[in-house]
Amino acid sequence: MIQLDRRHFIASLGGAAAVKLMSSEAKAEALEAYMMAQLNTQPKKFPKAAEIEAQIETRDYRRGVGNLFLTTQPNGKVKKLEPMPPKPTFLDFFNLRMQQTSNHVLQSANRAMKTGMPEEIILACLLHDTVHALIKVDHGYWGAQLYGPYVPEKLAFAIRYHQALRFYEDKEAGYEYPDLYRNLFGEDYVPAPHIQADYKMLKNHKWYMEPRLVTVNDLYAFEPGVVVKIDPFIDIIGRHFKNPKEGLGNDGSPVAHMWRAMAMPDNPL
């Protein structure tokens, strides 16, 4: 809760005499603006990693589970899913199974497009978190595996390693460590050994900027109320995503079962 310093507030408006001349609406508006400005200067409070760990046993699910397999609404129930078409494409999965992340990834891809990034980066941004439908924990690695057979190697590389690079600043590239991560993992969180090792490898890798640019666009992609449509990306998907003719999940690829698991998450076995 922010403490209002009355004297400071009045002084900021030009003193008591100036305040007297203001309408009540103008005063209310000024107060709101003042409170917003204060909010931005207040020191932020983040949880410690130990506090995050202590929350585990307060939940009836684990945080790494895929979006399709639970609802986190208190007393919520999962919904019946729309059936998939017989030969589903990426767009079918995007529209029918990946709705929970679609707004976020569309905003990411939109930022990449608006800032003139290459098509492969735009598509990497569009795909980067969509595997959350299946599983969230270690999602960069799962995501790269899910898309690996259908996209260029560099694009899967960008998806795989955006997860590791999210933990490491690169101010020169325009990426600062996000408050979101301080809240999700705790302010004193130390990344897992595989993330540290991959970061060390990435620093000198010729493709470093591929996953880095995904993180750069990721940072700004949580604007509430901003809705981006898939339409501007359809051609880019068409140029870089090879949908198998049998449909994703029916193509006998090493990851076909991952697509089937998203197609039918209600199957008990």
Which residues contact Fe ion (rule: CB under 5 A)? 129, 218
Nearer to Fe ion, 143 or 249 (CB): 143
Nearer to Fe ion by Cβ, of 84 and 151: the residue is 151
Nearer to Fe ion, 126 or 262 (CB): 126
Nearer CB in complex with Fe ion: 34/147: 147
Please, what is the minimum distance in Å from the beta carbon of residue 163 to Fe ion?
Answer: 6
Q: Are 236 and 118 in contact (CB under 8 A)?
A: no
Select 210 or 218, whichever has its Cβ closest to Fe ion. 218
Minimum distance between the CB of residue 165 and Fe ion, rounded to whole angstroms?
10
Nearest distance from C-beta of residue 57 to Fe ion, angstroms? 26
**Smallest gap from residue 219 Cβ to Fe ion (A):** 9
Nearer to Fe ion, 92 or 129 (CB): 129
CB of 218 to Fe ion, least distance (A): 4
Kindly state the smallest distance separating residue 156's Cβ from Fe ion, in Å: 14
The 3 state secondary structure assigned to the chain is CCCCCHHHHHHHCCCHHHHHCCCHHHHHHHHHHHHHHHHHHCCCCCCCHHHHHHCHHHCCCCCCECHHHCCCCCCCCCCCCCCCCCCCCHHHHHHHCCHHHHHHHHHHHHHHHHCCCCHHHHHHHHHCCHHHHCECCCHHHHHHHHHHHHCCHHHHHHHHHHHHHCCCCECCCCECCCHHHHHHHCCCCCCCHHHHHHHHHHHCCCCCHHHHHHHHHHCCCCCCCCCCCCHHHHHHHHHHCCCCCCCCCCCCCCCHHHHHHHHCCCCCC
